[in-house]
Each structure stands twice: as C-alpha cells, then as structure tokens.
Chains A and B, each alone.
Chain A
Amino acid sequence: MIKNGRASGVVLANGDEIYADVVSSSVDPRLTYTRMIEPGNLPDDFLEGVNRYKFRGSSGKVNMALDGLPNFKCMPGVGAHLRGAMSISPSVEYMEKAYDEAKYGHWSSHPYIDMVIPTLTDTSLAPPGKHILSCFVQYAPYKLAPGLDWDTEKEKFGDNVVNTIAEYAPNIKDIILHRQVVTPLDLEREWGLSEGNIFQGELSLEQLFFLRPVAGWAQFRSPIKNLYMCGSATHPGGGIMGAPGRLAALEILKDGGA
C-alpha cells in the first residue's frame, strides 16, 4: 500500500490489510516492484533498471532418500570422505562443456554436481540406517530451448543426475528410496525465486556493490519512502550470510525507523 509516495503497509492475499511505518522486502526487485506495487508509483528509469535486472537461474536441486550409503569407485567403503562435500567436477573442460549446453537452453548432459550427505553429521534428519543425499546441480537453465519445458524435462533431468552419479558410485540406483527434483521453474513457483536464481539475481559485476539491484539504489532504500529492500538482491548479494539483512536494518535505523 502506498499513500503519497510513502509505503503505509501491506495487503495480504486474503484481503487483510496490515499498516506499518516501515515495509522492508526480502524478495527480489522484480517481485517487489512489479508485482507488489501498483504501476504508476515508480519513476520510469528506475523501473527500466528493475526490468533489466538479470536473474537467469542456472541450477537445480535433486534430493534423495537413501537406503544406505553410496559406494564411490575412487574411494570404496564408508569413511570420512562421505561427511564433507563431494563434487563431480573432474576438469575445467568438463565444467565448461556443461556450461556450453546451458547457453543454448539445454540442461547439462554431464553436469557439475555438488553433493552432501547431511545425515552423517545429523542423524535426526532420517530414520536409523537411512540417509539423505542432497545434490546441487549445474547447469539447469531457467529458459530452455524452444520446444522444451521444465515440467516435461524435470524427471529426465533427475534421471540424468542419478546416471551421472552412478558413473562414480554404481550402487546409487539400488539404494534410492525416494527422489525429489527441484527445477529452476519450481524454485520460482514454490520458493519465490524469480527465474529460479538462487541468489535473487545474478552475481555478475554489473549487478554488484553500488549497482545492486539498480544503479543509484544500492543503499537499501527505494524511490518510495519507508519501503526498503533487505534480501539477497541487495548488496552484498546472495548466500546464507545475513549481511544484506543486517546492513538494511542499519540503514532503516539511520533513517529513524520511519
């Protein structure tokens, strides 16, 4: 809700209105400025900057419930190596080729996979003897080539991740109890991450520091008084570190809290 160029509160989807002195958005600028605010409240050149802000999600996630532990060919058996991060990134060329496919709108046939088995450090996450394998997968471009869509590609993408891991840990297929595939489209629909970008917008040089999210608007304020930004789309950007939230809070306090 905006009155006389000032944010005065929010309206929930159920129609409830909540008034507030300060509104601070932890979601990305596209959602904040083009979905939650009536058109006409923002200057054109600012909106131009918002519309230009790049998301281009490029990763997916595959979570698996396992009936045992994967047995890697290169390091057979159970050991400390399973407790940390395991990465399928055998060469720079491998990763670059994975990227090449994504540039033209295809998920990588030989993806970069970053895996962890959190149940080895926190047994409470699964029933006794069972495990979880959490796989971060790149590349999975949000925008697929013409004729492809994520809802039909989703399980094929998941199969390919399993097949890739199987090349390194052949027993993986026998121990999967359940599999959850999260595509960039799912990240957008379910988790509110536009275009499935995990950092609420690309962390490229032209979108960092005093240019994040929009040149001239990197100090957590917005053209609307009392409306602030505090999520990963603000400086210093994405990642689980809390820095944007803290810096935003400091700026809000500096402004007197309203």
Chain B
Amino acid sequence: MSETRDVIIVGGGHNGLVAAFYLAKAGFKPLVLERRAHVGGAAITEEFHPGFRCSTLAHNAGPLRADIVRDMQLEKHGLKFTTPDVNTVSLTPDGRALILYSDTKKAAQEIAQWSQKDAASYSDFGAALGKIGKVIGEALLLTPPNIDSPDRGDLWGMLKTGRSIRRLGKKDMYRVLRWGPMAAADLVAEFFDTEPLRATIAARGIFGTFLGPWSAGSALVLMLRAAGDPSPAGSVQFPAGGAGAITQAMAAAAKQVGAEIRTGAEIAEIRVKDGVATGVVLASGEEIAARAVVSNADPKRTLMRLVDPAHLTPDFVQKIKNYRCTGTVAKINLALSALPEFTALNAKGNGNLLRGRIQISPEIDYLERAFDESKYGNFSRSPYIEITIPSLSDPSLAPAGEHVMSVYMQYAPYKLKDGNWDSQREMLGEAVVKTISQYAPNFPQTILSGQIITPKDLEETYGLTGGHIFHGELALDQFFTMRPLLDWARYQTPVERLYLCGNGTHPGTGLTGGSGANAAREIAKTLRK
C-alpha cells in the first residue's frame, strides 16, 4: 500500500474538478481518480464517427457560475464561449417557427408577429425571472442550513435570504412563494397566450425530470434553472470544442494549483473503518489510503455501491434507496452530410437561424402527452426534442461542409415496460428521426451515422445511476435541505470523512459547478477543525 494521500476525489466530472480546484487553493492536496479514459463526466466531447466530434452528453452549460469561471481563470485555460444571435427556434406542426433571439428586444419584435400582448409580457417575464432568479441564486450559494441545530452561519444565511426575498417587494415576494409548487404550464399561462411560446418556456421546467408541464413543481425546476440564467427560454452558450472544452479547462486549472488527476482509475470500494472513511480500493486491486474521500459520483452509487451498506444504519439505507433517481432523457448524436432544411425556415434563409437551439415543443399538451407515455414505461413516440448543431459555431467539429447534430429527447424512461433498452435503442432512434423529419423532410437523407445513448447507456457507460442526468430528480422533496436527503444536505455523509460533491447535492442544477464549489468550501471547513 502506498503512502496516505490527503484528499481523494472519486470521479472527474466537472463538479469533482471544481472541488479539486478549490480544495487545492485552500491548501489541500487533492487526487482525482476518474474511471473513464478522460475527465469530464457528463461534460465531454468525443469523436463518434471518423472526423465528427460532438458534446456526447450535455451540449449546453447550466450556465457555469460566473465566480467559478473567474476563480479558475477558465478563459486563460482555453475556454471560449460563443452566444449565437438566435437563442431558440421553436417549430410548429403547421410549418411555422417561433424565433427567439438572444436579444430581448429583438425577441419581442418577433413575438409581436404572434401576439402583441405576449411581446410586451416577454420582457416582463424576463425581468421577473431576473429579479427572482437573483434571490434564488443567493440561496444556491449557501450550504443548506442544519435544521435541528442551525449554527450562526446558517442563521445568517437564512436571514440574508429572507431579507433579499423581502426586498423583492410584495409582488415578486408573493411570486416566489406561489410559483415554486406550481405547474410550469400554469406559470407560463399567467404571462403568455401563444401556445408555442408557452410550451417552449415551460420545457425548461421539465428538462431532465420525470415531470410533465402540468406536474406540480415543474415551475420550481424552471425557477432553479433561471437562477443563474434569467433569459426566458434559457440561454445558449457554445464552448468552442464542445462541452469537453469546459472540463479540459477545469482540469488544467485544478492541476495548476496543485491537484493531481489520474484517469482510467475506477474505484471499486470506499474503505471504511469504525465509521470513518480511510481510503479507496481501485478495480485493479490497488489500494490508496487517504485522510478524506470526496465522491463526485451520484449519491446512490456512492452510498449503496462504493460503500458497503453494512457501515450505514438500516434507516439511512432505506432512505437512500427511496431517493428518486431514474432518468428520462436520451441523447442522439448524428453526423450529417449537409444541413437539414426545415420547412418553416426555408423562406428565411436557413443557416443563421440554426445556430441556436432548435426545439420541438409546439404546445403544452404535446409535451404532456410525451410525458404520459413515459409514466407507463414507454418512450415518447412524439417526443420533446432539443437540437443543436454545434458545427455551425465551431466548424472544427466536423469535416468541411459537413455537420454534427446533437439531440436531446425526452421522455425515455429508464425502466421500460416491455423489452429492454438494447432491443428498443434503434426504435428510439427511428422515432426521433421521424419526428424531426416532419419538420425537415430532407433530414433522413443527410444522416451519415448516429450514436444513440439510452438511459441504460448513461448508467453503464457514463456512470449515472438510473440514467438520471442530474444525479437524482430535481423536485421539491429532493431540493435544498433535502438534497440528497433531509439531514444530509451539507455535503457530509453518515460515514465520517466521506463527502459528496456531485450534482446530487445542493444546488444540483446541472452544469454550473455550484455543487462542487459549495462542497469544497464545506469540506475545507470541516477538515480544518
């Protein structure tokens, strides 16, 4: 057995890398152990067809928390974002397209073609999201308070958030309270009449979750995602080089301040002795002792697979079993010989409009019906789809004149009623191609090759238990002081010196770095004691 290491981080996803950076800055010597051949977790760029590279999983950042980008100097480490003019093109079955520009004024002009009233509401909605999102954003920076015996820091944090909420003024304060438990469908209907606009914005509230737009709490997801990003439909930011460029820059930043990173190092077990984590055992049999272990893997994987449950109380094991963590998203990456021609955009000159996000979310009921199928264990035959064509902003991702298309589809439930994902994979791909073809008839002819990633693949290849893209459902009962579990929302676990830093901890809102940065702060504090 080798020397005792300082802090081991299990997994080199973006949160593990962010945690490694902040821990190294705080004077610790983190060692990141990643099971795959490269770091990045769900934020990676890979070649899936000769000459074609794509953000394999996430194709858009959360966005990243600005202070993290600054602290890690990610731009200096090569990260460069482009924000396209066109934020979202939302297609409708009658051959129209609602075009949302990144610029709010320009967006309002376009919306006016659908409804004058909605054009006016659009900036109101953006402003309300901005104000409310800022206050929620403050709460996302906090370590959730200890409910049984809040310490002074907890009380101060709650007081500050409480004050910020009050400072919003009556109207927005009531909005914060009212909106959280609502259905996203109701929330958008308070502002807009245009169906595709309603659905396109509401889609933010269902993204990655087992909720339909009519489900209670979908408005909360929308608000959480708006916390760092008040643009009504959600901003679009493409890193040159795809999502993997984000984590490559993070890895470089972490190394520069002294973190060590090893890839191809799968952890088979987290060693626990007398209730204290003492190190890890790799799949290769190698053992590494450490003062503390921080897991970037999801809570279920960490506490039910990497730790022997014998070290946990039956009550805790029961609770972690009940943690909801079954995914609904599938990902399809396509190599294209040419750009698809969307009927709705032909008259307007296709190319530039395709640089943002292209969404198939024409109406609330369409999304809800897609959800209905998944409740009974079927994937949606007419799915909610979000497309990007990153090669338009970064031509280096595909051979000259050719393109890559990155497609999220929802809903693809982890648990199928009939068959399994191996037998349904191709059918899923066909359903997606067929759906897109209804809006772009030449689409099938442009496809050279494709990669279909089912929830099962997310679990087996990318380590996301249950195929859940957020390491666990984002819902009222799994949020803030309850993420992942009530009493265990402060990055600690029942095993002493074992911590969590992944997306299954607060705030857990995707590719933002928030969980990793919060966790590092808390871990540094407890390890120093």
Q: Nearest-CB distance from B365 to chain A (Å)?
A: 6
Segment from B174-182, B197-205, B288-296, B430-438 that makes contact with A: B174-182
> Hey, which chain B residues are within 8 Å of A45, CB to CB?
171
Question: Is A100 in the interface zone, CB < 8 Å from B?
Answer: yes
The complex places the Cα of A216 from the Cα of B179 at a distance, in Å, of 15
Within 8 A of B (CB), among A45-93: 45, 52, 54, 93
Q: Are B216 and A204 in contact (CB under 8 A)?
A: yes
User: How far does the Cβ of B484 sit from chain A's closest Cβ, in whole Å?
Assistant: 22
* Beta-carbon contact of B216 and A211 below 8 Å: no
A205 contacts partner chain B, Cβ-Cβ < 8 Å: yes
Within 8 A of A (CB), among B128-187: 170-171, 174, 177-182, 186
A225 beta carbon closer than 8 Å to chain B? no
Complex contact B372–A54 (CB within 8 A): no
Given contact pairs A93-B376, A206-B182, A103 touches B171 in the complex (Cβ within 8 A): no
Once the chains bind, are A216 and B170 in contact (CB under 8 Å)? yes
A211 near B177 with CB under 8 A, answer: yes
Given contacts A93-B376, A205-B181, contact A103 B368 (CB under 8 A): yes
- Chain A contacts for B368, CB-based, 8 A: 103
Partner of B179, one of A54, A96, A206: A206
Is A19 in contact with chain B by the CB < 8 A criterion? no
Q: How far is the CA of A104 from the CA of B371 in the complex (A)?
A: 13
* Structural contact, B178 and A215, CB atoms closer than 8 A: yes
**B375 contacts A by Cβ under 8 Å:** yes
CB-defined contacts of B376 to chain A, threshold 8 Å? 93, 97
Chain B, 184-224, CB within 8 A of any chain A CB: 186, 190, 214, 216
- CB contacts (< 8 Å) of A54 on chain B: these are 186
CB-CB nearest in chain A for B175: A215
* Cβ contacts under 8 Å, A93 to chain B: 376
Count, chain B residues at interface, CB 8 A: 19
Q: Which residues of A contact B216 (CB under 8 A)?
A: 204-205
Contacts of A205 in B (CB 8 A): 180-182, 216
Q: Are B365 and A204 touching (Cβ within 8 A)?
A: no
Binary per-residue interface labels of chain B (361-404) against chain A in the complex, 1 for a CB within 8 Å, 0 otherwise: 00001001100100110000000000000000000000000000
Complex CA gap A104/B213 in Å reads: 13
Cα of A96 to Cα of B372 in the assembled complex, Å = 9
User: Would you call A215 and B177 a contact (CB within 8 A)?
Assistant: yes
**Closest partner residue, chain A, to B372 (CB atom):** A100
The answer to whether A104 touches B365 (Cβ under 8 A) is yes
How far is it, in angstroms, between the C-alpha of A215 and the C-alpha of B372 when the chains are bound? 32
Least CB distance, B411 to chain A, in whole angstroms: 14
Contact between chains at B181 and A204 (CB < 8 Å): yes
Which of B178, B369, B375 contacts A206, CB < 8 Å? B178
The complex places the Cα of A45 from the Cα of B180 at a distance, in Å, of 20
Chain B residues closer than 8 Å to A206, beta-carbon distance: 177-182
From residue B480, how far is it (CB to closest CB) to chain A in Å? 16
Q: B375 contacts A96, CB within 8 Å?
A: yes
Interface membership of chain A positions 200-212, coded 1 if the CB is closer than 8 angstroms to chain B and 0 otherwise: 0000111000110
- Among A96, A100, A206, the one with the most B-chain Cβ atoms within 10 Å of its Cβ is A206
Which residues of A176-226 have CB atoms within 8 Å of chain B's CB atoms?
A: 204-206, 210-211, 215-216
Q: Which residues of B contact A204 (CB under 8 A)?
A: 181-182, 216
Is B182's CB under 8 angstroms from A103's CB?
no
In the assembled complex, the CB of B78 is this many whole angstroms from the nearest CB of chain A, namely 45
Query: With A and B bound together, what is the CA distance between A26 and B219 in angstroms?
Result: 31
Closest to A52 in B: B190
CB distance from A237 to the nearest CB of B (A): 15
Most buried by B among A93, A205, A211: A205
Write out the residue numbers on chain A whose beta carbons fall within 8 Å of the beta carbon of B375: 96
Residues on the A chain within 8 Å of B174, using CB: 211, 215-216
- Of B170, B177, B214, the residue contacting A103 (CB under 8 A) is B214
CA of A104 to CA of B376 in the docked complex: distance in angstroms? 17
CB distance from B195 to the nearest CB of A (A): 14
**Chain A residues near B372 (CB-CB < 8 A):** 100
Residues of B contacting A210 with CB < 8 Å?
A: 177
Which residues from B are CB-within-8-Å of A216? 170, 174
Docked CA distance A204–B177 (Å): 13
Complex interface: chain B residues within 8 A of A52 (CB): 190
Q: Bound complex: CA of A233 vs CA of B55, how far in Å?
A: 51
Chain A residues with CB below 8 A from B214, complex form: 103
Q: From residue A139, how far is it (CB to closest CB) to chain B in Å?
A: 13
Contacts of A215 in B (CB 8 A): 174, 177-178
Most buried by A among B179, B214, B375: B375
Given the complex of chains A and B, what is the CA–CA distance between A215 and B178 in angstroms? 8
Q: Complex Cα distance A215/B172, Å?
A: 11
The A87-111 residues at the B interface (CB cut-off 8 A) are: 93, 96-97, 100, 103-104
Nearest CB of chain A from residue B186's CB, rounded to whole Å: 7
Give the residues in chain A near B179, CB-CB below 8 Å: 206
Interface residue from A97, A103, A211 paired with B178 (Cβ < 8 Å): A211
Q: How far is the CB of A99 from chain B (nearest CB, A)?
A: 10
CB closest chain-B residue, reference A92: B375
**Closest CB of chain A to B214's CB: distance in Å?**
6
- In angstroms, Cα B210 to Cα A96, docked, is 15
Task: Pick from A97, A100, A104, A216 the residue with the most CB of B within 10 Å.
Answer: A100
B187's nearest neighbour on chain A, judged by CB, is A206
| A89–B178 alpha-carbon span in the complex (Å) | 31
What's the minimum C-beta distance from A183 to chain B, rounded to whole angstroms?
A: 22
Residue of B nearest to A97 (CB): B376
Minimal beta-carbon separation of A11 from chain B (angstroms)? 33
B177 contact set on A, CB distance < 8 A: 206, 210-211, 215
Residues of chain A within 8 A (CB-CB) of B180 are: 205-206
List 30 A-B residue pairs with CB atoms under 8 Å apart, sorted by A's residue number.
Answer: A45-B171, A52-B190, A93-B376, A96-B375, A97-B376, A100-B372, A103-B214, A103-B365, A104-B365, A104-B369, A204-B181, A204-B182, A204-B216, A205-B180, A205-B181, A205-B182, A206-B177, A206-B178, A206-B179, A206-B180, A206-B181, A206-B182, A210-B177, A211-B174, A211-B177, A211-B178, A215-B174, A215-B178, A216-B170, A216-B174
Additional A-B contacts beyond A103-B214, A204-B181 (9; CB < 8 A): A96-B375, A103-B365, A104-B365, A205-B180, A205-B182, A206-B179, A206-B182, A211-B178, A216-B174
Minimum-distance CB pairs A-B, first 4: A205-B181, A215-B174, A206-B178, A206-B182
